[in-house]
Chain A
Amino acid sequence: MTPMPSPPDEPPTVGPADRAGAIADVAPPQRGRRTATDVVGLGTARAVWFVAPAMLLIGIFLLFPALWTLYIGSTNFERTGPNHVNPEFTGIDNYTSVLSDPSFYNSLWVTLLFVVFSAVFGQNGLGFWLAWSLRRVDRRVRRTVETLVLLAWILPSSVVAFLWIAMLDRHGGTVNMLLDMPGTAWLVDYPLASIIIFNIWRGTAFSMMLYSAALSSVPPSHLETAQLAGATGAQTLRDVVFPHIRGHVLTNTLLITLWTFNDFSPFLITAGGPGDRTEVAAVYLYNTAIRDGDLGYSGAISLLILVANVVMALTYLRMLRKRSAT
């Protein structure tokens, strides 16, 4: 099958932009929509005052903490004791000891498994499958399944965490009842698999919605042509659908990777245990910083997480830019 020309792969959003477009069709074309036009006569000085409150908050509670981490991570600051009163500057000591700490590598490995299996494969795959297969089914079935998937996403995390604890309970849990495996302690015997499946359940909604929007950008005529040419489902996906949504797949994978990497909800189910078998990055950081009170040391871990986030976010922004440029 010859590759088809792909239009810009932005999901069509029925939003304010479209409404403006409709009005612009009627009204004589004026200035471009994108250029800033100070129609109200606010003036730059007043505009700066408008922006100031938000920037002040963001500066104090986002920018400053990020930069401060650099300093905290190079001291021996602790929550209590003499090092709390008089923290000393220790340079790169924390970083070298973090990088030679087996518990750091344990957390790195656990986080990697958690992110790859629950986000990259799990949410991505299931989200796409749902978006793809629900296109053609009966509207009521579609709405029902979508609502269930969305509910898992919008309910408060401490509630869903307990729902899973109840469901996986050793004695009366629903899973043991359904599988007829009484006495299986899922959270003790298979803790990492449990939180991976939990996170697939929790987060698939986002991928499903993103792929639903993306799939509606695939021209139906292309799909019909593929069907007439006798393409199988897999061929259609590979040669017709995928070229249209490649950008969305990358965007989605990157975003859910970033979020899963920073996700604290496993703490609510296993608190990192048993032992350190589910100590993902966020939980590892909490345990060293707040539970153990080793603030300088965990400042160094924080910085490593921030750096990883910067790398992922820059890749994402670069991709967005490339897409809006084409």
Chain B
Amino acid sequence: MRQSRHEAESDMTASIDGERSAAASRTAWRMAGRIGFYTLTCLIAAFFAIPLLWLISAPFDASPTYAVDFPEFTLANFATILANPYALPSLLNSVILAIGTAAFVVIGAALAAYALSRVRIPGRDALLYLLLLLSSVVTGTAAMVPLFLLVSEIGSAIHPMLGIDSHFAVMLVMSSGLLPAAIFMLKDFVDGIPPSYEESARVFGASPFRVLKDIVVPLITPGLATITVWTVVNVWGNFLVPFILLRDADRQPAAVLMRTLYTEAGQPNLALLATFSLLYSLPVVLMYLFVSKRYGFRFHGGIKS
């Protein structure tokens, strides 16, 4: 009896111990899980950060190599940009292409989006469906061959401005690629504006043109700004279209020159590559910061074509 009681007691303590140790091991597991989770997060953050480090360190390094190391600080590398006859002109070409394309896209999309949103044009829904389909199907890749031929054969035959080596032709090609998505984004925007503003302006006798200029344009300005930034970022980074349609090195934008700088024969000039990369990337980063600060980096489906 006594014996068994003792046994029972020891059993009880054992089971309490067991529970304690189970709880301890659960906490330990949770801790381990936590540590594992943060380690994994750090690794993934590192995976995204490491390729970018070179872009920050190398431009200021007195003797840049492929490796990332703490730079021996200098600004002398930026002089290589001035020394290269193509570097600054290529950035200017990028600016020209971006502004020209943005003008086409913003004007074309604003007119079309407003009319498609407010007026029931016959066949509107079919048109919108076709636009959505075209914009995702006819990509630069898929249309590489016909676009090259369209510009080099037909365009050149009509006028040099529509042929190879023409900025104007590149602008037309790029804006038509961006227009369908731009029309959709803006149409969504106009759909969200109640027509009562325009209505009351009309009641007070303003002409349609006046209403558009004084009521509609100010209302959709944030939408226009979004489209502009989106277009500029797309054109700024676009490689394929100018690569195919611009052969003359004097007319190529930074995207194409960048590749020339690292594929041309001989030892690549790392000081030039690093500083040029940074200078060429900076506008995109600034625009991203501007947009995310001003409007919050809102999610638009298919923002990147």
Interface residues, chain A, CB within 8 Å of chain B?
A: 11, 13-20, 23-24, 27, 30, 33-44, 46-48, 50-51, 53-55, 57-58, 60-66, 68-69, 72, 77, 126, 129-130, 133-134, 137, 141, 144-145, 148-167, 169, 171-174, 177-178, 201, 206, 209-210, 212-213, 255, 258-259, 262-265, 268, 281-282, 285-286, 289-290, 295, 298-299, 302, 305-306, 309-310, 312-314, 316-317
A310 to B132, CA, bound (A): 11
Instruction: Decide if B5 is an interface residue (CB 8 Å cutoff).
Output: no
Q: How far is the CB of B302 from chain A (nearest CB, A)?
A: 7
9 A-B pairs with CB atoms under 8 Å apart are A54-B109, A62-B134, A68-B150, A145-B41, A152-B48, A154-B237, A156-B255, A262-B140, A298-B145
Residues from chain A with a CB closer than 8 A to the CB of B108 are: 53-54, 57
**Contacts A154-B285, A156-B236, A172-B67; is A285 near B145 (CB within 8 Å)?**
yes
B236 — which chain A residues lie within 8 A by C-beta? 156
Query: CB-CB < 8 A to A40: which residues of B?
Result: 118, 198, 202, 208, 211-212, 216
**CB contact between B258 and one of A43, A133, A162 (< 8 Å): that residue:** A162
Q: Given A16-B188, A160-B51, A174-B68, A66–B44 Cβ distance below 8 Å?
A: no
- B273 at interface, CB cutoff 8 A: yes
In contact, B137 and A306 (Cβ under 8 angstroms): yes
Q: Give the chain A neighbours of B255 by CB distance below 8 A.
A: 156-158
Distance of B266 from chain A, by nearest CB (Å)? 15
| Alpha-carbon separation in the docked complex, A166 to B52 (Å) | 11
Chain B residues, Cβ within 8 Å of A160: 51
Interchain CB contact under 8 A, B150 and A172: no
Q: Is the CB of A313 within 8 A of B137?
A: yes
- A68, B146: Cβ atoms closer than 8 Å: yes
Inter-chain contact B136/A258, CB cutoff 8 Å: yes
**Given known contacts A66-B134, A174-B53, A162 and B273 CB-to-CB distance under 8 angstroms:** yes
Question: Judging by beta carbons under 8 Å apart, are A159 and B191 in contact?
Answer: no
Point out the residues of chain B lying under 8 angstroms from A166, CB to CB.
54, 58, 66
Chain A residues within an 8 Å CB radius of B54? 163, 166-167, 174
Are the C-beta atoms of A162 and B277 separated by less than 8 Å? Answer: yes
Tally of contact residues, B, Cβ under 8 A: 106
Q: Does B3 contact A (CB under 8 A)?
A: no
B119 close to A302 (CB less than 8 A) = no
A209 CA to B301 CA, complexed, in Å: 10
Complex partner residue of A39 from B53, B104, B189, B199, CB under 8 angstroms: B199
- Residue interface mask B216-235, A partner, CB < 8 A = 1: 10000001000000000100
Nearest Cβ in chain B — how far from A70, in angstroms?
Answer: 10
Contact of A61 among B177, B216, B273 (CB under 8 A): B177
* Chain B residues whose C-beta falls within 8 Å of the C-beta of A64 in the assembled complex: 146, 150
Summarize A's interface: helix, strand, loop or mixed. helix
**A54 contacts B284, C-beta separation under 8 Å:** no
B223 cross-chain contacts in A, Cβ below 8 A? 16
In the complex, how many angstroms separate the beta carbon of B40 from the nearest chain A beta carbon? Answer: 8
Closest to B53 in A: A174
A53 to chain B, nearest CB (A): 5
Given contacts A47-B119, A163-B51, contact A154 B141 (CB under 8 A): no
Give the number of residue pairs across the A-B interface with Cβ within 8 Å. Answer: 318
Asked, given contacts A157-B239, A262-B141, whether A27 binds B298 with beta carbons under 8 Å apart, the answer is: no
B149, A72: Cβ atoms closer than 8 Å: yes
Chain B residue numbers with a CB within 8 Å of A16 are: 188-189, 191-193, 223
Whole-angstrom distance between the alpha carbons of A302 and B151 in the complex?
Answer: 17
Pairwise interchain contact B121-A48, C-beta atoms closer than 8 A: yes
| Cα(A285)–Cα(B149), bound, Å | 14
Residue of B nearest to A282 (CB): B141
A159 to B138, CA, bound (A): 25
* B265 interfacial contact with A, CB 8 Å: no
| A65:B47 contact, CB within 8 angstroms | no
A61 touches B41 (CB 8 A): no
Instruction: Decide if B180 is an interface residue (CB 8 Å cutoff).
Output: yes
CB-based nearest B residue for A152: B48
Cβ-defined contact, A44 with B150, below 8 A: no
**Which among B139, B177, B288 has the highest number of chain A CB atoms within 10 Å?**
B139
The verdict on A15 contacting B192 (CB below 8 Å), with A156-B255, A156-B280 known, is yes
Smallest Cβ-Cβ distance to A170: which chain B residue: B66
Which segment of B6-14, B15-23, B74-82, B168-176 sits at the interface? B168-176
Inter-chain contact B121/A44, CB cutoff 8 Å: yes
Contact B146 A65 (CB under 8 A): yes
Cβ-based interface call for B144 (8 A): yes
Instruction: Evaluate contact between B173 and A61: CB separation under 8 angstroms.
Output: yes
Residue of A nearest to B190 (CB): A16
Q: A206 to chain B: which residues have CB within 8 Å? A: 304
Q: Give complex CA distance A190, B232 in Å.
A: 35
| Nearest residue, chain B, Cβ from A265 | B239
* B65 is an interface residue with CB less than 8 A from chain A: yes
With A54-B179, A57-B108, A302-B143 as given contacts, are A66 and B52 in contact (CB-CB < 8 Å)?
no
Q: Does B294 contact A (CB under 8 A)?
A: no
Neighbouring A residues of B191 by C-beta, 8 Å:
16-17, 20, 33-34
Which residue of B45, B136, B150, B212 contacts A148 across the interface (Cβ within 8 Å)?
A: B45
Contact B120 A36 (CB under 8 A): yes
B240 within 8 A of A: yes
Tell whether, in the assembled complex, residue A42 and residue B208 are in contact, meaning their CB atoms are under 8 Å apart: yes
Which chain B positions have C-beta within 8 A of A152? 48, 51-52
A201 contacts which chain B residues (CB < 8 A)?
A: 47-48, 51
Residues in A whose Cβ lies below 8 Å from that of B58: 166
Closest chain B residue, CB of each to CB of A151: B52
CA distance A82 to B131 in the complex (A): 38
**Residues from chain A with Cβ under 8 Å of B37 in the complex:** 133
Q: In whole angstroms, how far apart are the Cα atoms of A263 and B305 in the complex? A: 10
- Interchain CB contact (< 8 A) of A57 among B104, B116, B148, B281: B104
